[in-house]
Every structure is written in C-alpha cells, then in structure tokens.
Amino acid sequence: MATQIVTLVGVLIGALTSYCATAVAERARFRRELATRWDERKLDTYIAYVTCVKEIQRAAMEAGRARDQGGDATDALREMESSENRRSVLFETFVLLGDERAATAAHTVNQRTWELLRATRDPASGLAELRTVPLVEALNVLHQAARSDLAISRGAAGR
C-alpha cells in the first residue's frame, strides 16, 4: 500500500510539474506573439506617418518650385493639405502606440511640418524659403527613435 501511495504521489508531482512547465511556456509564447503583433502595428503606423510627412514636404517643394517659375501651385497645395489631414490622424495612432522617445520626436516633426505648411501657404514664399525649414533633421531623429522603439539595430536594418 505504501508503494502505491508513493507511486501516486510521484505521478501527481510529475503531472503538476508538466502542467506548470506547459503553462509557463504558453504564457511566454502568448506574450511574444502579442509583442510581435503590436510591433507590426507600430511599424505600419510609423511608416504611414513618415510617408505623409514626406508627401507634405514633396508637395510643398513642388509648390515653391511652381511659384519660382511663375506657375500655378494649386495642385501641389491641394495635395499638401490632403497629406496633412492624413498625417494629423496618423499622429494620434503614433502617440498611442509609440514609446515616449518616439512620441517626442514625432512632436518635433509636427512642429517642423507646421513651419513648412505655414511657409508654403504664404503666396510669396518660394523654394529657397521652404528649404530653410529643418524638417529632414527632425525626421532623422524620429527614425532613430522608431528603430530604438522597435529594437531594430542599424546593422540588422542594413542586412
């Protein structure tokens, strides 16, 4: 009888150990999957946000170039405003998903983008005035912050 109890206790301990090990492994797997899912959303949001900023910059430069050449900047201004509307909406998602450093960098990009928008909306501004807005530098800081938030090293990104 004692050997049966020892055997039963051994089986129970084995089953409990197996259950605990499986539960810990499943929990770790779930956390990894969840982190990966959010990282994918972050990456998509970061790319969409930066794309809108670049579209605003490109359209602003087109408007400035058109003015310098005596042309009509209406289409470029319309495209710039449309991209600005999308950027504004994407920024909210960016702030919700991004870490503090990335959100701070995005705020700076917003400030520079607004400076560019203000300058471009001035009918007297040409390409030279628009190029003085330091938007590219702010975007470079944002890129670094986004890579850090997504744990993308410079070496891994270049492979």
Residue 119 lies in a domain: yes
Q: Note the Cα 21 to chain centre separation in Å.
A: 36
Sign of CA dihedral 67, 72, 74, 79: negative
DSSP state of 74: H
Instruction: Convert the pLDDT of each residue in 65-97 to its tens digit.
Output: 999 999 999 999 999 999 999 999 999 999 999
Identify whether the C-beta of residue 124 lies closer than 8 Å to the C-beta of residue 73: no
Distance CA 77, CA 64 (A): 10
First vs last C-alpha separation in the chain? 65
Residue 56 lies in a domain: yes
Residue 114 lies in a domain: yes
What local confidence, expressed as pLDDT, does residue 26 receive? 73
Q: How many domains does the chain have?
A: 1
Instruction: Convert the pLDDT of each residue in 18-66 to its tens digit.
Output: 777 776 777 767 676 655 667 889 999 999 999 999 999 999 999 999 9
Stretch 2-19: mean pLDDT, rounded? 78
Q: Of 1-10, 63-72, 118-127, give the lowest mean pLDDT range.
A: 1-10
> Is it the case that residue 136 has pLDDT exceeding 60?
yes
Q: How many CB atoms lie within 10 A of CB 151?
A: 9
Q: Note the Cα 34 to chain centre separation in Å.
A: 17
Q: What is the CATH number of the domain that holds 92?
A: 1.20.120
> Is it the case that residue 108 has pLDDT exceeding 70?
yes
Residue 1 has which token pair? Answer: 């009888």
What local confidence, expressed as pLDDT, does residue 158 receive? 47
Distance CA 109, CA 118 (A): 14
Q: Residue 101 sits in which domain range?
A: 34-157
Residue 79 lies in a domain: yes
Residue 15 lies in a domain: no
Residue 29 lies in a domain: no
Residue 98 lies in a domain: yes
Residue 10 lies in a domain: no
Whether this model's pTM surpasses 0.95: no
